[in-house]
């Protein structure tokens, strides 16, 4: 009885120590995340006025959201908040797939066994280190991100005659080409990390099976790297949402500067913007999530083992169907079966000895 009470006291003491270690993070979460989250929801339905006596709140229902979507005009003359949201959506549609695909291609090239690949990796990652924060803002203001003369290219004019929307998307892409290279720095590192974890036996088995490099890419590399592609897509969405490509932040700051009703309107703007970003992330998850039912809770290494087993099984079946390799393959299968039975017997004997 005394032992049980001692164990309970020790357990209680350990729990208290655990809560003490957790307390700083929990307090930080409540103060800096949970409270601002619910506070912005609250003030988005209010007109907030800052006076000498304090902050006054007046409930206005959905007026802030209606003004944000249909009435208010801010920033550059006639540019409205909905127009900047549409511009943000356009940038997400153009840049997220582009960055995801280009960074994968560059990662595949940099993962090859070539001389000086460490230097090349450093060169591709340097823009992330150099062009950050205020440096990037000055870089954009100077117009250094533009590729001049795109609208005068003959091919561009042909595309414009065929599809003005496609030509406009290409114009946006080339006018911000250096930004694309800047965005690819961290995704390349993520992809290379994932590519180096792929079991090389998969490619060897596929090569024995007669698969080409293109088939190995689509049947082995892409399925295994898909979870990392999802991380890259989400990272790029967040990066674009906080980059100079996002004009909505400027409008939110402009509205926030209004001391009479700015905070309530700015909160409504923030929530509309946040819903757009969450929608983009949700779409990325739907498009890039792993749809296999039998491998949902299996880690990457287990998936690799499953694929290796399937490829080896197909190779054995092909060899059995071939008259030239039938006898040799049949002997190998019989030997494998004998070894398997022998291992099972040894395992049973070992279990009996342990029980004895």
Given the structure tokens 């920033």, which residue do they identify?
75
Q: What is the predicted pLDDT for the residue at 76?
A: 47
Give percent of the chain with pLDDT exceeding 90: 8
Q: What is the predicted pLDDT for the residue at 6?
A: 52
Compute the distance between CA of residue 186 and CA of residue 194 in angstroms, rounded to an integer.
Answer: 13
In this structure, the number of other CB atoms found within 10 A of the CB of residue 209 comes to 15
What pLDDT, in 10s, does the model give residues 84-113?
Answer: 888 888 888 888 998 899 899 988 888 887
The answer to whether residues 264 and 46 touch, using CB atoms and an 8 Å cutoff, is yes
The answer to whether residues 173 and 96 touch, using CB atoms and an 8 Å cutoff, is no
DSSP string, 164-177: HHHHHHHHHHHHTH
Position 70 confidence tier, pLDDT thresholds 50, 70, 90: confident
Q: What is the predicted pLDDT for the residue at 151?
A: 46
Distance of alpha carbon 61 from its chain centroid, rounded?
36
Lowest mean pLDDT among 70-74, 131-135, 159-163, 234-238: 131-135
């Amino acid at each position: 009885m005394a032992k049980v009470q001692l164990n309970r006291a020790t357990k209680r003491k350990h729990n208290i120590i655990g809560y003490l270690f957790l307390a700083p993070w929990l307090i930080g979460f409540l103060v800096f995340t949970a409270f601002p989250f619910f506070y912005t929801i609250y003030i988005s339905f209010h007109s907030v006025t800052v006076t000498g006596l304090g902050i006054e709140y007046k409930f206005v229902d959905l007026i802030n959201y209606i003004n944000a979507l249909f009435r208010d005009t801010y920033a550059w003359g006639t540019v409205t908040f909905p127009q900047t949201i549409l511009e943000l959506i356009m940038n997400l549609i153009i840049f997220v797939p582009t960055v995801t695909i280009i960074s994968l291609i560059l990662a595949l090239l940099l993962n090859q066994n070539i001389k000086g690949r460490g230097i090349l990796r450093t060169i591709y990652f340097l823009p992330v280190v150099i062009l950050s924060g205020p440096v990037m803002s000055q870089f954009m203001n100077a117009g250094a991100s533009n590729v001049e003369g795109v609208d005068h290219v003959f091919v561009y004019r042909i595309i414009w005659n065929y599809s003005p929307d496609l030509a406009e998307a290409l114009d946006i892409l080339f006018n911000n080409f250096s930004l694309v290279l800047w965005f690819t720095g961290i995704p390349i590192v993520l992809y290379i990390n994932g590519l180096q974890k792929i079991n090389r036996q998969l490619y060897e088995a596929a090569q024995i099976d007669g698969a080409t490099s293109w088939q190995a890419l689509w049947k082995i590399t892409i399925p295994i790297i898909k979870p990392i592609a999802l991380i890259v897509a989400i990272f790029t969405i967040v990066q674009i949402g906080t980059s100079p490509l996002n004009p909505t932040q400027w409008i939110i700051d402009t509205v926030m500067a209004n001391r009479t009703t700015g905070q309530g309107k700015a909160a409504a703007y923030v929530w509309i913007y946040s819903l757009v970003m969450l929608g983009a992330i949700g779409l990325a998850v739907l498009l890039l999530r792993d749809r296999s039912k039998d491998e949902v809770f299996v880690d990457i290494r287990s998936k690799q083992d499953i694929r290796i087993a399937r490829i080896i099984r197909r190779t054995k079946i092909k060899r059995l169907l071939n008259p030239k390799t039938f006898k040799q393959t049949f002997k190998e299968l019989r030997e494998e079966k004998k070894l398997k039975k022998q291992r099972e017997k040894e395992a049973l004997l070992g279990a009996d000895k342990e029980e004895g």
